[in-house]
Structure formats: structure tokens, C-alpha cells
Amino acid sequence: MTAAAVPQPRAENEPSAPAARGRRSSLAIALLAGALGAALVLLATSRKWAEGTASVAQGSLPQSANGDDITGLPGALAIVGLAALVAVFAVRRLGRGAVSALLALSGAGIVVSSALGATDKAALEEKASKVSGLTHSPIHDVAYTPWPWVAAAGGVLLLLAGVLALGYGRHWPAMSGRYERAGTEGTAGRGRTRRGGPVPDPDRPEELWKALDRGEDPTQAPARQETERGA
């Protein structure tokens, strides 16, 4: 009579299959959202956000301002967010939480600064003043493009990446984890004999005394071991 198979209990720290899939999905979404968000912000800030007409002595002159002219904050925060996204995988524990928070704050800052710059005409007025030579030169027929909202959308993606990193980042792998495990396993393998026990160090004082008690010359032990291995 054969005994019924008993299901093996899952280890305490081993995640269930749905949880493992959720962690992998969060990692993929965060990477995609962060990279795409930063790219959108950098692209949008290099495009024209506003245009208008400046009044000069000879008539009127069209003026335009791109995102970097209006506000340099979204582009700077995009670079910070991209660096934080990479740094998430280079740090652990509290450091990973701090970097994840920085990533989320970068995204939120991009959203706010892009929304404020979507209706800002200060850059156009400054350009008009340079053209006309007046301190306060008026700007007329101001029109705005959708690019500020594209930058804001990129900020939302970076914010999403930061939120995912805060919620699931502690389960994500680190850059150096694989190399540390490999190094640890190699050191452990070199420090054990074929039978699984630790290799004694002949230079330790207790090993020298043991050799003397056995009537051996500890200074000749390395040579004898090399001879035995060669045989």
C-alpha cells in the first residue's frame, strides 16, 4: 500500500506564482514608463510651446519660444528621473526607497511645471523686449501648442514608474546581486573539500600544534600535499 503524496509546503519567503508575475510585470512597466516618459519630456521641451507677435517701430515681428525658453525645469527633472530610474537597481533597502521617491517626485515636478508653462508668455515678452529695445514690450496674438501637455504626459509616466518602484522595488533584483552570488558560491566552493567539509588552513596555530602532536613537520606539509596530489 503506497502512501499518498504529501504536498510540500512553500518556503516562507518564496512568493506565489501570481505574486511573482506581478513583481515581474511591475518591473517591466516601470522600466518602460520611465524610459518613455523621460524621452517624451526631453522631446517636448525642445519643441515650440508658444508663439506671438511683437510690436516694433517698423511694424510687427513674429516671436516663438520653445519649452526650454519658457521653463528649464521639466528637462532637468527628466534627466534626474532617468538617472533615478537606473539608480533604483544599483542600491538596496533604504537607498532604493529614497531613489524611488526621487523618481516619483521628478515626475510630479514635471507635471506641475509643464502645466504652468502651458500658458506662460513671459519668454515671448522677454524676446519682444530684446527686439524692440523696450523694457516692457507687449506681445499680441499669443497661441500655444500641445507640446507642454506632451511633457506633462511624460511626467505622469515617470511618476508611475516612481510609484511602482516604491510599491514593488524591494522585490526587484539589484545590478550586483548576480555577481555577488557568483563570488560567494565560488569562495564557498574553494573553502570546502570534496566531502563537503571545510579545508583546514595549515597556517593556523591550532593546525600547527595538531601537526606537531602527530609527529609531523608542519613546514614540510605543503610540499607533501603537492606530492600527494601529483601522485
Residues 122-153 have pLDDT tens digits of: 888 887 777 666 666 677 788 899 999 999 99
pLDDT at 222 over 70: no
DSSP secondary structure string for all residues of 91-138 = --HHHHHHHHHHHHHHHHHHHHHHHHHTT--HHHHHHHHHHH--SS--
Encoded amino acid at 46, one letter: S
Work out the pLDDT band at 1, boundaries 50, 70, 90.
very low
The pLDDT tens digits of the residues spanning 163-221 come to 999 988 787 777 654 444 444 454 444 445 445 555 556 556 566 667 666 766 655 64
pTM, to two decimals: 0.66
CB 148 within 8 A of CB 173: no
C-alpha cell belonging to residue 8: 510540500
pLDDT of residue 112: 97
Q: How far is CA 107 from the centre of its chain?
A: 13
Work out the pLDDT band at 224, boundaries 50, 70, 90.
low
Q: How many CB atoms lie within 10 A of CB 103?
A: 32
